[in-house]
Amino acid sequence: MNEAFVTRYYPGEDPIDKRIIVNRPLRFVGEEPVKVQVVGVVGNVRLTDLSEERRPVIYVPLPQNPFSRAVWFAIRSKSAPLTLGSSVRGEFVAMDREQPVEQVGSLEQMLTSQFAQPRFQTELMSSFALMALILASIGIYGVNAYSVSQRRNEIGLRMALGASQGAVLREVIGQGMRLIAIGIVAGLLGAEAIAFWLRSVLVGAGHPDPVAFLGAALLLAIVATLACYFPARKATRIDPAIALRAE
């Protein structure tokens, strides 16, 4: 049995030499219980799904297994795995012509099939995240560019009165970053609230990763800073004479 089995059914005990029934016999059809003796404890292994939780598992010799007669063989070879398929089938056919041989493939193929769905989900979510980041950048740039265009005469007048380009640059970026900071804080609070709600309705949902949250906030802050910089840079190039004539 594995460690998860010991933790659930034999907490604080030594399970070695104990006996358990591995089937649930039906008395009315004369089925007898299959009792096996515990001879060892092994580590937890994910058998079917790489994302599954640790669950109790027992390993029974094939003659004592009342559930399945399927057998898996692992073959190690220095040759290319894909060239062994016909040879493996030939050896099994030579031993027993009536025995079907299915799912012959390499370990790499099995791992690829196991990771196919998580990889697709990751790529899909990454695409959505990238689209959201691009849309957020375009929105921030558009708002700051519109704000600078509305303040064009004001900025030109201030520069005519002695304001330096650095001061104008810092002011425009600072105004944009204050709004962005408010948005990031509100977004983090909203994400934490949604994560708390998901934990209450979804089984197995864990606590949010603070590194992921802070990393996303930092990335958005960097992108937002660049989106604020270019309109601010454009504001420092306003000709004061043109602004004064407009006034």
Residues 64 and 121 placed together within one structural domain of the fold: no
- Average per-residue pLDDT in the chain? 80
pLDDT at 246: 56
Residues 142 and 196 placed together within one structural domain of the fold: yes
Percent pLDDT > 90 in the chain is 7
Residues contacting residue 145 through CB under 8 Å, at least 6 positions apart: 230, 231, 234
Total tally of structural domains belonging to the chain: 2
Q: Taking 80 as the threshold, does the pLDDT of residue 243 lie above it?
A: no
Residues 144 and 238 placed together within one structural domain of the fold: yes
123 backbone dihedrals φ, ψ, rounded to 5°: -65, -40
Residues 209 and 154 placed together within one structural domain of the fold: yes
pLDDT at 204: 60
Q: With respect to residue 64, please indicate whether it lies within any of the assigned structural domains.
A: yes
Residues 153 and 45 placed together within one structural domain of the fold: no
Tokens 């390993």 belong to residue: 59
Distances (CA, A) of 239 to 114, 122, 167, 244: 62, 49, 16, 9
Q: With respect to residue 239, please indicate whether it lies within any of the assigned structural domains.
A: yes
Q: With respect to residue 165, please indicate whether it lies within any of the assigned structural domains.
A: yes
- Going by the DSSP 8-state scheme, the letter that residue 211 receives in this structure is H
Residues 150 and 232 placed together within one structural domain of the fold: yes
Q: What is the pLDDT of residues 77-108, one digit of tens each?
A: 887 777 787 888 888 888 888 878 877 878 88
CA nearest 148: which of 238, 239, 246, 247? 238
Q: What is the pLDDT of residues 106-124, one digit of tens each?
A: 888 877 877 788 788 889 9
Higher pLDDT, 39 or 68: 39
Global pTM value: 0.57
Q: What is the pLDDT of residues 181-231, one digit of tens each?
A: 888 889 888 888 888 887 777 656 667 778 888 888 888 888 888 888 887
CA nearest 159: which of 239, 231, 228, 232? 239
Q: With respect to residue 103, please indicate whether it lies within any of the assigned structural domains.
A: no
Q: Taking 70 as the threshold, does the pLDDT of residue 30 lie above it?
A: no
**pLDDT band at residue 26 under the 50/70/90 scheme:** low
Residues 123 and 233 placed together within one structural domain of the fold: yes
pLDDT at 119: 84
Give the structural domain span for 118.
Answer: 114-246
Q: Taking 70 as the threshold, does the pLDDT of residue 174 lie above it?
A: yes
Angle at CA 125, nearest 5°, toward 122 and 130?
A: 120
Q: What is the pLDDT of residues 115-151, one digit of tens each?
A: 788 788 889 988 998 898 888 888 888 887 787 777 7
Q: With respect to residue 160, please indicate whether it lies within any of the assigned structural domains.
A: yes
**pLDDT band at residue 242 under the 50/70/90 scheme:** low
Residue 98 C-beta-side C-alpha neighbours within 13 Å: 0
Q: With respect to residue 119, please indicate whether it lies within any of the assigned structural domains.
A: yes
Residues 51 and 120 placed together within one structural domain of the fold: no
In the listed set 15, 37, 71, which residue is the last one of a domain according to the structure?
Answer: 71
Distances (CA, A) of 63 to 70, 149, 202: 11, 82, 40
pLDDT at 25: 60
In the listed set 71, 99, 131, which residue is the last one of a domain according to the structure?
Answer: 71
Q: With respect to residue 101, please indicate whether it lies within any of the assigned structural domains.
A: no
